[in-house]
Chain A
């Protein structure tokens, strides 16, 4: 809101220069964003907090400034000269919806001369960034800036039957507002109507038809107090934000309605001529009660740490308009001024005292140590996961939680089997096509991969952890799980090299996820070939831990890759991180170091390519040969020299006794037994 420094000086005789005013207002919570010199004046742009509607005027700001400077506000004492006649002879006012309009005051001025405003008024409005219109309209705006009370001037002749009816709009009613727009009204909107039709949207904007024009002779000046929530709703529905609605939404002073009107009418008579009625039609069916609030003076220190003398507490509050109703040592009771809609409880008064004493006067201290700090119970393991992933060359992604509707992906086991109707849907998305809460992290990562490919980066390894959602029982909060997902494509990059050493494959991704799980100190994951909707058959696996399925891994199907316009293989994995975090960590236990050397023998088996390494390893383990302590995978080979449908797998078998060094002949005996068992079991040939 723009404030004229010169006007402030008239109101408070301030001794502060504009920059000082800026600083002091900022310190009491009225942040001044800028001070600009304009036409011999200084304009302060004040950021008024949304609860301080009373400060949306020059008098309101002057009140704060006077408390700061320990001075007084010289507010005008308007008095209409030579009024004549009764308004009830000229107009009628009826409030049909007093819940939305607690007070409405009308007064008529006859015989005004509509003309441009005098120069001082034009200049002042221009300084405040307002376009001058004509003398009557400008005076209503002037009083709005002065008292914060929006006023409206109707051309009395245009009001059917000279009536004002304040009511909710009827279904289907429309109005052409002052900005020339024809607007549809809704049942919940409050309007000012004449005998037949709406002539203004209450508290928001007047209608074009009853507007003051150069031929206007008699005007009706409206000054009212409208229900703030109602004005806010209406303004929002109409998409109309006006100086008036801005103030009504925040609450004007219901007891200031007549004073502002008197001021406005007096100025019109003075500047535009005319004779005002001697009385006012002030419809105020149920006066808003004056509220009071208690302050125990010691609470100021208990809450803020400030020691403010009682006399100063009283000075600040009374200068702000709070009246002492009761004053005894234990408590003070104040009547809340009618313009302070923000004050209701003791803490509100404490804040008034604190901000006018100065937040800078509050000492700084750390609270006494009493509690031990602690990370979230999962944080240590999540940090280990993130470190492991970044150590493996994966960059951490964070994607928006909103996504488009998709059925292309299998979800984590916890969400499995849920269709498109399981997506949590937003009623009011901000990005039209992203109206669902993500059920999987994969589309977000794939979009990011596409973004990178589009920018010429072809080697991309990303991981993300974050919440995924599905709906629950009707009326219940949606399910939230944390997921951990990876996506990788391109080559295996080394630092500071221009070229990848080789292309990434399934086993890079598998290795990365295994590293993460190991870093979290969890039991190893199991991988089993499985059909997964978004993964290429034959290159897709289900991931389980301790027998429970937690996710999937594999190569993106060609159709999905095509939909994303990927021209290189993309490997993705997703696991249920919530499930992983529920698993107990492996304890670290010492086992004695072997005292005798191991003897190793390699064997290369030519076998059906469907036989898995997991089966081979499980088989040798199950042979339960005491001195066969480990079987490890060395390599797998297909291609030249290997018949179609077969592959060669090399295993390394490790033999050791705990009480002696094994002799070669002993090892040979055992090894031959193992190898022949493998040959029989898997119909393998030895290469």
Chain B
């Protein structure tokens, strides 16, 4: 019967196939349009995907009429062959797109429904061990050490129980000075002192290293203060020392200004006031502008705009001599500041006894 039909041109055949496939696609899925796509269930969509796949094979597959037509291109006369080739490609593109669109739609629908089913509450806490916390004194000490190491200082430490020589004599603290009084300094039954400042380490270090020397000594020190909100009989301090040829108070000022810039921020100012310590001459009390109010006055700085950093000065020649350094050849500066006190200021602790109670609820607050 087919033979008897009038011979169709390849163009006509192509139009025919194209129309037929479109009609089948439409006929098969018209009802979806009618019902509204939203009501399509995932299982129906799965089924239709299979139908679509079958129809695609039947219409465009290797054994389809369309494939035959494509194969016949080679037999066409040379002129017009290229045009027809283009047309057949275009038509194929359109039909494939039609199938793809229908399939994509259903695949998306299936995926969306699965994602919804398998969705999680992303706000539930992540799985991780409870982190431990370093002590605020350690955190502050590490920050201070980092700054001074980068400024060329070596970090040193030494004994906590000392002889009078290192704790007093070498620091130019004379016999009969109140600091030596058992009211202020702890003594062991063997007559040794619990170091009342880490300057002791400076003497050891100068004796070991000679001059020039640049070092800081962070550590535990002891003074016989009754515990109260602002005192502990044990605390932590950092003492620094820089001895070299040609060191002046300008270097002391520059170094501590640089230190507070790095610790509290570049806008921090420093102030040096004359003061008195046995181990330095001249001596200076160092203040820095309040990190909280910037100097205008607040609760933290008690309205003055300034916070005390610590004591400093040019190393007393007697101290240099005690460490076998010639004060005519070398000069140096030294400074000391309280780590716990700085912690207390920065974290606004109203009772520094908290530092050594090791209450987990306290320790957890620091990073």
Q: Which of B129, B331, B360 has the most CB of A within 10 A?
A: B360
Which of chain A's residues have a CB closer than 8 A to the CB of B214? 367, 370-371, 373
B contacts with A, residue count (CB < 8 A): 91
A37-45, A155-163, A266-274, A447-455: which lies at the interface: A447-455
Q: Does A461 contact B (CB under 8 A)?
A: yes
Chain A positions within 8 Å of B222 at CB level = 401
Task: Tell yes or no: B109 within 8 A of A by CB.
Answer: no
Q: In the assembled complex, which residues on chain A have CB atoms less than 8 Å from the CB atom of B225?
A: 430
Task: Name A375's contact: one of B135, B145, B226, B281 (CB within 8 Å).
Answer: B145
Contact call B138/A386, Cβ cutoff below 8 A:
yes
> A474–B190 contact, CB under 8 A?
yes
Segment at the B interface, from A302-310, A650-658, A671-679: A302-310
In the bound assembly, the distance between CA atoms of A243 and B215 in angstroms comes to 42
Please report which residues of chain B, range 142-183, place their CB below 8 angstroms from some CB of chain A when the two chains form the complex: 142, 145, 148-157, 159-163, 176, 178, 181-183
Interface membership of chain A positions 108-139, coded 1 if the CB is closer than 8 angstroms to chain B and 0 otherwise = 00000000000000000000000000000000
As a 0/1 sequence over residues 253 to 264 of chain B, the CB contacts with chain A under 8 angstroms (1 = contact) are 111011000000
Contact A494 to B149, CB < 8 A, known contacts A351-B274, A354-B249:
no
A375 vs B157: C-alpha distance when bound (angstroms): 10
Whether a CB of chain B sits under 8 angstroms from the CB of A329 is: no
Does B310 reach chain A (CB closer than 8 Å)? no
Q: B153 to A400, Cβ gap below 8 A?
A: no
Cβ A367 vs Cβ B249 within 8 A: no
A383 to B138, CA, bound (A): 10
The contact string, 1 if C-beta is below 8 Å from chain A, for chain B 326-337, is 000001000000
Cα-based distance from A535 to B249 in the complex (angstroms): 57
A455–B133 CA distance with the chains assembled, in angstroms: 19
Do the beta carbons of A27 and B273 come within 8 Å of each other? yes
Give the distance in Å from the alpha carbon of A27 to the alpha carbon of B271 in the complex: 10
Residues of A within 8 A of B258 (CB): 366
The reply to whether B155 and A365 contact each other, CB–CB distance below 8 Å, is: no
Q: Which residues of B contact A7 (CB under 8 A)?
A: none
A376's nearest neighbour on chain B, judged by CB, is B155
Asked whether A376 lies within 8 Å of B129 as measured between CB atoms, the reply is no
Q: B181 to A379, Cβ gap below 8 A? A: no
Out of A355, A379, A477, which one reaches B282, CB within 8 Å?
A355
Known: A303-B248, A394-B132. A430 touches B224 (CB 8 A): yes
Contact A495 B156 (CB under 8 A): no
Please give the distance in Å from B330's CB to the nearest CB on chain A.
11
Among the stretches A48-56, A80-88, A165-173, A619-627, the one at the interface with B is A48-56
Select B281's contact among A348, A367, A448, A462, beta carbons within 8 Å.
A348
Is A397 interfacial (CB-CB < 8 Å)? yes
From B1-9, B62-70, B87-95, B120-128, give the one contacting chain A.
B120-128
Closest to A461 in B: B132
1/0 per position for B55-80, CB-CB distance to A under 8 A?
A: 00000000000000000000000000
Q: At the interface, yes or no: B293 with Cβ under 8 Å from chain A?
A: no
Instruction: Enumerate chain A residues within 8 angstroms of B182, measured Cβ to Cβ.
Output: 427-428
Q: Is B283 an interface residue (CB 8 A)?
A: yes
Q: Chain B 11-24 against A: per-residue CB contact (8 Å), 1 yes, 0 no?
A: 00000000000000
Does B127 lie within 8 Å of A494, measured CB to CB? yes
Question: Are A401 and B234 in contact, with the CB atoms below 8 A?
Answer: yes
Decide if A345 is an interface residue (CB 8 Å cutoff). Answer: yes
Is B314 at the interface (CB under 8 A from chain A)? yes
A427 B358 Cβ-Cβ under 8 A:
no
Cβ 8 A contact of A425, one of B188, B250, B273, B358: B188
Q: Contacts of B149 on A, CB cut-off 8 Å? A: 373-375
Q: Which B residues between 240 and 296 are near A, CB-CB below 8 angstroms?
A: 242, 244, 246-251, 253-255, 257-258, 271-276, 281-285
Q: Does B30 contact A (CB under 8 A)?
A: no
On whether A305 and B250 interact (CB within 8 A), knowing A374-B154, A393-B130, A402-B234, the answer reads yes
User: Are A362 and B138 in contact, CB atoms less than 8 angstroms apart?
Assistant: no
Across the interface, A371 reaches (CB within 8 A) one of B154, B156, B188, B226, namely: B154
- Mark out the residues of chain A between 379 and 419 whose CB falls within 8 Å of any chain B CB in the assembled complex: 379, 383, 386, 389-402
Q: Which residue from chain A places its CB closest to the CB of B257 in the assembled complex?
A: A364
Q: How far is the CA of A539 from the CA of B354 in the complex (A)?
A: 33
Q: A426-B186, A437-B161 are in contact. Are A371 and B212 (CB under 8 A)?
A: yes
Residues from chain B with Cβ under 8 Å of A451 in the complex: 357-359
Tally of A interface residues using CB under 8 Å:
93
Determine if A389 and B132 form an interchain contact, defined as CB atoms under 8 angstroms apart. Answer: yes
C-alpha gap A372/B150 in the complex (Å):
8
Assess whether A28 is interfacial by the CB under 8 Å rule.
yes
The interface residues of chain B lying within 8 Å CB-to-CB of A70 are: none
Given A467-B160, A495-B129, A373 and B249 contact (CB-CB distance below 8 Å): no
Q: Does A359 contact B (CB under 8 A)?
A: yes
Closest to A342 in B: B276
Counting CB contacts under 8 A, is B42 at the interface? Answer: no
With a cutoff of 8 Å between Cβ atoms, the chain B residues found around residue A306 in the complex are: 249
In A325-370, which residues have CB < 8 Å from any B CB?
A: 342, 345, 347-348, 350-351, 354-355, 359-360, 362-367, 369-370
Asked whether A398 lies within 8 Å of B360 as measured between CB atoms, the reply is no
Is B192 close to A, CB under 8 A?
yes
CB contact under 8 A between A396 and B282, given known A366-B258, A367-B255, A374-B149: no
Give Cα distance in the complex from A369 to B242, angstroms. Answer: 11
**Cross-chain contact A392 with B129 (CB below 8 angstroms):** yes
A-chain residues with CB within 8 Å of residue B36 when the two chains form the complex: none
Chain B residues with CB below 8 A from A360, complex form: 271-272
CA distance A485 to B112 in the complex (A): 55
Which residues of the partner chain A approach B156 to less than 8 Å between Cβ atoms?
376
Name B249's contact: one of A303, A348, A461 (CB within 8 Å).
A303
Query: Which residues from chain A contact B212 at a C-beta distance below 8 Å?
Result: 370-371
Report the bound CA distance from A26 to B274 in whole Å. Answer: 8
Q: How far is the CA of A110 from the CA of B155 in the complex (A)?
A: 69
> B363 interface residue, CB < 8 Å from A?
yes
Given the contacts A362-B249, A467-B220, A347 and B272 also touching, CB distance less than 8 Å:
no
CB-nearest residue of chain B to A434: B233
- Does B104 count as interface, using CB distance less than 8 angstroms? no
Which residues does chain A contribute within 8 Å of B189, judged by CB atoms? Answer: 424-427
Q: Looking at the complex, which one of A50, A401, A469, A478 makes contact with B276 (CB distance below 8 Å)?
A: A50
A493 lies within 8 A of chain B by Cβ: yes
A98 within 8 A of B: no
- Are the C-beta atoms of A393 and B163 separated by less than 8 Å? no
The CA-CA distance from A49 to B276 in the complex, in Å, is 6
* B273–A390 touching, CB < 8 Å: no
List the B side residues contacting A391 at CB < 8 Å: 129, 131-132
Residues of A within 8 A of B117 (CB): none
Across the interface, B131 reaches (CB within 8 A) one of A29, A49, A347, A393, namely A393
16 extra A-B contacts, CB within 8 A, seeds A360-B272, A392-B129, A395-B364: A31-B285, A304-B249, A345-B317, A347-B281, A354-B282, A371-B213, A390-B132, A395-B135, A398-B358, A427-B187, A428-B183, A430-B225, A437-B194, A480-B160, A495-B128, A497-B125
Task: For the complex of A and B, list the 5 residue pairs with the smallest distance between their C-beta atoms, beginning with the closest.
Answer: A29-B274, A351-B282, A305-B250, A496-B125, A390-B132
What residues make up the interface of A, taking CB atoms closer than 8 Å to B? 26-29, 31, 49-52, 229, 232, 236, 301-306, 342, 345, 347-348, 350-351, 354-355, 359-360, 362-367, 369-376, 379, 383, 386, 389-402, 424-431, 437, 445, 448, 451-452, 455, 457, 460-463, 466-467, 469, 471, 474-475, 477-478, 480, 492-497
Enumerate 15 A-B pairs (CB-CB under 8 Å) in ascending A order. A28-B274, A232-B178, A305-B248, A366-B151, A366-B258, A370-B152, A375-B155, A379-B145, A400-B234, A401-B220, A445-B358, A452-B360, A477-B163, A492-B129, A494-B127
